[in-house]
Amino acid sequence: MLKIVCWKWNAGIHKKKRMLFTHEHVNRLRNMVARHLHIEHEFICITDDPAGIDPSIRIIPLWHDHRDMGGCYVRLKAFSKEMAELIGPRFCWLDLDTVIVDDITPLLARPEPFVMWGDTAPGTPYNGSMVLMTAGTKAQVWENFKGEASRNAGRRLRYVGTDQAWIGATLGPHEPKWSINDGVYSFRVHMVEKKQKSLPPNARIIFFHGSADPSQAEVQTAYPWVKNNWL
């Protein structure tokens, strides 16, 4: 059974969004997955605060490894071999600032051991909003991470982000990826910057990395498809 994982931890106000992710984000993402993923799956939240999260969602307590580094470095432990037991042998993680608008089954039924969303920032090969993997298949991402020295490896390559920069530095730029050809879009890059108000015909899932969030009233007003699907 495929495991669908989301992350919620208390890191204070999000610097770009100037808001907190809440249990509502978790519950709505679960609802969207339930509507649009047509294979057997279990929804999981890795969190330090399960209050308000629907009881049907399995909770995994968030670990502390590399959490003090900020950003999303805490997620790197998902690459460890022990995740086969903790999460399950096959899983996909999704960011909370996400709107699913159509069937994502073709995205998550891919057979490759590792697939990651990619190429949303110039020169940076991956985006950490969506990752599909067989547990432990890329264990070097976790095993070779050495804190500040590894952070600098991504910076030397001028990669944007935290965990995604290290993933790129470790694996190189040529791992299998999803793109707009698969119906995977960036709200900021593919809609706001291109002044695209309506959904692309092939859209399946849209990620709101950046300052906008699907919970924001002004976003829902300007883009009615957000309000119609983020529920």
Domains and CATH numbers, the chain: 2-179 (3.90.550.10)
List C-alpha distances in Å: 220 to 66, 133, 228, 230. Answer: 35, 32, 8, 9
Tokens coding 2: 């495929």
Q: Give tens-digit pLDDT for 26-58.
A: 999 999 999 999 999 999 999 999 999 999 999
Reported as a pLDDT band with limits 50, 70 and 90, residue 121 is confident
- The SS3 of residue 163 is helix
C-alpha span between 204 and 74 (Å, rounded)? 28
Q: Give tens-digit pLDDT for 133-177.
A: 999 999 999 999 999 889 888 889 999 999 999 999 999 999 999
Q: Give tens-digit pLDDT for 184-230.
A: 999 999 999 999 999 999 999 999 998 999 999 999 999 999 999 99
C-alpha span between 66 and 89 (Å, rounded)? 23
Looking at residue 13, its pLDDT comes to 67
Rounded to two decimals, the pTM is 0.95
C-alpha span between 181 and 214 (Å, rounded)? 23
Q: Phi and psi dihedrals of 118, rounded to 5?
A: -150, 170
